[in-house]
Amino acid sequence: RLSTPIQDRPAPPIPQIEEEDIYIALYDYVARTNKDLTFKKGDTMVILKKGQNWSIAQLLEPNPLYSVTEGSIPTNYVKKQSSVVSQPSWMFDTADRSEAVSLLMQPCNNHGDFLARRRTTNPNEYALSVRNGATVNHIKIEKMGGQGYSIDHHTMFATLNDLVGYYQENMLANDIRLRSPCKQVVMESPQTAGLSHDLADEWEIDRKSIELKEKLGKGNFGEVYKGLWNGTTRVAVKKMIKSDLLDKEEFLKEAKIMKKLHHPKLVQLYAVCTHSEPFYIVTELMCNGSLREYLREKGKDLNEDTLIEMAIQVATGMVYLEVNDYIHRDLAARNILVGKNNICKIADFGLARVTQGNDIYQAKVGAEFPIRWTAPEAATMQQFTIKSDVWSFGILLTEIIGNGRVPYAGFQTFEVLEQVERGYRMEKLEKCSEQLYDIMMACWHKDPNQRPSFESLVMQLETCDSAAFLE
């Protein structure tokens, strides 16, 4: 332990700095505790101690506005300067498909403006995203063995640079020429692993460090409030219902796993308060609330491509759970939360497990009864698997395309399971394309093993919108 707080000690002299050791901030960060460093996008620093989630850094050109020049930073907010500088301005290495769309749709970008990004489903492959009027087209770049890159399987390029150069002169299949690289607009800063360096491993926090603000809503496990942590950081707080159904051991075990899951399409768990009841679950705050309400209010203003894009984001988050052998158990539009630019993240994964099996179904009444989202084998035999999540995802697709409509509208809850077991499936909504309906029906295959994986769902959905990959 240090006797003097970091900010009161003189900064140690920086020994000779190798070019290689300089890091650059990709996003702004505002200190949340007195051991954190405040910095702005573009600030340079050296890393004194590198950690997976949090590192200790020293600013190279301290900004007179910040009193602290050395402290902890989220590791994912910085990158080696050399790797950033050497990249062409159209390379948006870390952007995913939905980010590419929101970046290119910003008013500062025009028809033909583009970026290249890694594909989420296969990080060894790249795609081009190109603004095409009021939409964005995505074009797969094939790696042709040792021969380089190609879009059309005929014209080969040794490097991505050559490929981009060529299509700035020649038309792509959609009759567009690449114009200017997507203008760097501020991307939403990524989530940190936990609230701060000190809590990264030990994430039980003092209840008193959280100030509860207005109530955001109420669900099957408790009430959700806006909160302020340490007077600095906006969070969401779920106050768990005090209930005999809540198995404390199970809850703690589950929360430990949830804390380890990090993905841009999962709502990040920050901390818990479990020393006394009611338990608190502290997570990132999502400014536009639940997808269900969002669809009910704004659904009719969103075009089909945007809706598909949102479904892809959910499926992408589910791929992460799938490959990590984790099951959600309560996948539904109410448990997808929406941020800026139609960003969707999955919430409440694993929570359904901590209330004992059967009871969650009996505890819920009316239209919200999750039986409408639950695969028959899970409802009747508690066989929850990633394939029962796939079933729920199919139901979620009907919510997305139906602007937040209740699944099996017109059926009583008790009738749903009975009908489904007899082979009944929800009919195709008018707005829904045949292709999308086929995907839903595949999710609702009676045999769980015949249902698609989330990975294949992402690929199928990617070919669904009008911005589909052009071959």
Ligand X SMILES: Nc1ncnc2c1ncn2[C@@H]1O[C@H](COP(=O)(O)OP(=O)(O)OP(=O)(O)O)[C@@H](O)[C@H]1O
Distance of CA 184 to the CA centre of its chain: 21
Between 330 and 349, how does the x/- string for binding to ligand X read (CB under 6 A)? Answer: x---xx-x---------xx-
Distance of CA 197 to the CA centre of its chain: 22
- Residues of this chain that bind Mg ion (CB under 5 A): 219, 335, 348
**Least distance (Å) between residue 337 CB and ligand X:** 5
Question: Could you say whether residue 286 binds ligand X (CB under 6 A)?
Answer: yes
- In the numeric block, which tokens belong to residue 417? 């399971």
Given ligand X, Mg ion, none, residue 289, with its beta carbon under 5 to 8 Å by kind, binds: ligand X
Element (H, E) at 228: strand 222-229
Given Mg ion, ligand X, none, residue 120, with its beta carbon under 5 to 8 Å by kind, binds: none
Q: In terms of CB distance, is 129 or 290 closer to ligand X?
A: 290
- In the numeric block, which tokens belong to residue 323? 């490959």
Given ligand X, Mg ion, none, residue 267, with its beta carbon under 5 to 8 Å by kind, binds: ligand X
Is the peptide bond between 181 and the residue preceding it cis, with omega within 30 degrees of 0? Answer: no
Among 157, 221, 326, 393, which residue sits at the site for ligand X (rule: CB under 6 A)?
Answer: 221
Q: Give the type of residue at 140.
A: K
Q: Are 285 and 214 in contact (CB under 8 A)?
A: no
Q: Which has the closest alpha carbon to 19: 77, 60, 55, 74?
A: 60
Sign of CA dihedral 397, 400, 402, 406: positive
Q: Are 454 and 388 in contact (CB under 8 A)?
A: no
Q: In terms of CB distance, is 350 or 394 closer to Mg ion?
A: 350
Among 46, 216, 245, 302, which residue sits at the site for ligand X (rule: CB under 6 A)?
Answer: 216
Question: Could you say whether residue 45 binds ligand X (CB under 6 A)?
Answer: no
From 36, 43, 113, 330, active-site residue: 330
Stretch that binds ligand X, among 1-9, 96-104, 218-226, 441-449 (CB under 6 A): 218-226
Question: Could you say whether residue 114 binds ligand X (CB under 6 A)?
Answer: no
Question: Would you call 330 a catalytic residue per the annotation?
Answer: yes
Q: Are 141 and 117 in contact (CB under 8 A)?
A: no
Stretch that binds ligand X, among 55-63, 101-109, 251-259, 278-286 (CB under 6 A): 278-286
Q: Give the type of residue at 274.
A: T
Question: Could you say whether residue 234 binds ligand X (CB under 6 A)?
Answer: no
Q: Do strands 156-157 and 149-150 pair parallel, antiparallel, or not at all (unpaired)? A: antiparallel
Q: What angle do CA 382, 386, 389 make, to 5 degrees?
A: 75
Burial of 370 by CB count in 10 Å (0-12 exposed, 13-18 middle, 19+ buried)?
buried
- In the numeric block, which tokens belong to residue 80? 């080696």
**Least distance (Å) between residue 369 CB and ligand X:** 10
Question: Could you say whether residue 224 binds ligand X (CB under 6 A)?
Answer: yes
Q: Are 283 and 239 in contact (CB under 8 A)?
A: no
Stretch that binds ligand X, among 32-40, 78-86, 279-287, 386-394 (CB under 6 A): 279-287
Q: In terms of CB distance, is 99 or 330 closer to ligand X?
A: 330
For residue 40, say whether it is annotated as part of any ligand binding site: no
Q: In terms of CB distance, is 219 or 376 closer to ligand X?
A: 219
Q: Give the type of residue at 416.
A: V
Stretch that binds ligand X, among 210-218, 255-263, 390-398, 429-437 (CB under 6 A): 210-218
Q: In terms of CB distance, is 216 or 257 closer to ligand X?
A: 216
Q: Are 326 and 348 in contact (CB under 8 A)?
A: no
Annotated binding site for ATP: 239
List of residues contacting ligand X (CB under 6 A): 216-222, 224, 236, 238, 267, 283, 285-286, 289-290, 293, 330, 334-335, 337, 347-348
Active-site residues, by number, are 330
